[in-house]
Structure 1
């Protein structure tokens, strides 16, 4: 979803954002670093939005947002709401096997051809541990091979063909740089789509297996306060997770309204 050419600064889909209670004024008041993530096609931090629930009621829902281009190049809003488990509907859309689901839950990155807005493309898939939603990005937009080439050149090292193939498949690889172990691998939560960890593959696995929600009983996210400004507050507790799950029956309606899940 994100590369150096992705920028929606002049074409933010305010109509789609408004359906989440994010009118132009609220979007403009977002912290600069959050707005930059949004316009660059990156996944935003958690934020609390409001959705109509009928009978004049609204529901507060913590989620992450991302903008992607459809097949015509127009911005499409993708929402990653907090949920207890991977959505069954979403699993069916991506045609994930049980083996693939298990791999995602372990923190693995998958490479798979999936249909996005009517176009089938090779994508990397990764489970976001905070929202339990699947983040995906075109393989061609993650420049990990170029990063490895740069590291080879700068550090005068040479990767084997097997290591390069592992990197292309989304698996982390271990390098020896200046006498120290360094691991490089796909991480779609990072702006560039990959990250570099100081340490061997065991250290990489240790960091990847950490689950934010296992260490913290609640999450911090952006909330529009009574002072008409965004502030980081507690947005997810057990009860708010229940509210997020209760919205599942309305997901099809949200898709019809222009939001992509």
Structure 2
């Protein structure tokens, strides 16, 4: 079957509702912004619409600090492209890329692994045959970002802990907390930890520093109206590496590793 990589599609600047308290686009805002790209890709025949219930199980993201700014021009556009990274029996992976159209500098590349799930049993089920057939047309020849299982991340005894309560507005159509919300839970925990003097180097609000890379493993679902324990701690060798683990009672929900920039973002002057 002839391969048919998607053409670049144009996405307008992120809406202000995705900005954080600094007027910048945080990592959770980036992930929500990219959801618009899914819809544009489906218009081009990208077969993800054939999967009715897909759960995120792993994601790696590499970002440019240029995304973490508060002075995007009103007419700012981005070029976006999706492709299939791999297809298995019950799971598949997709690439997402975001470019500056004026220079074609790549601002983001991510790989997301999803599993097809039976909505009744909440267990993995085989991918639809039509999806497997059509996805081969959009197969990328690039090497994947996800090459091995994420190492086990266990909070140390001195880990910083916060509690967040999930809301109905955090839910998606799979009736569990949407994957993008977890990025926000981690970022909020990191901000509280940094302002409490827990981290080395990041003595002020770490939210001023761009997230350059993430590696997240989604283990279990979270319902609404539940208290989640969010733990964070810093790598003993590299101050830029921040770890997270999220628990629902004794069940581990998520493991994550963020790489923060060493320098804070530039803040444009407000007129």
Calculate the TM-score normalised by the size of structure 2.
0.23
Structure (1 or 2) with the greater helix fraction: 1
Q: Structure 1 length as normaliser, TM-score? A: 0.24
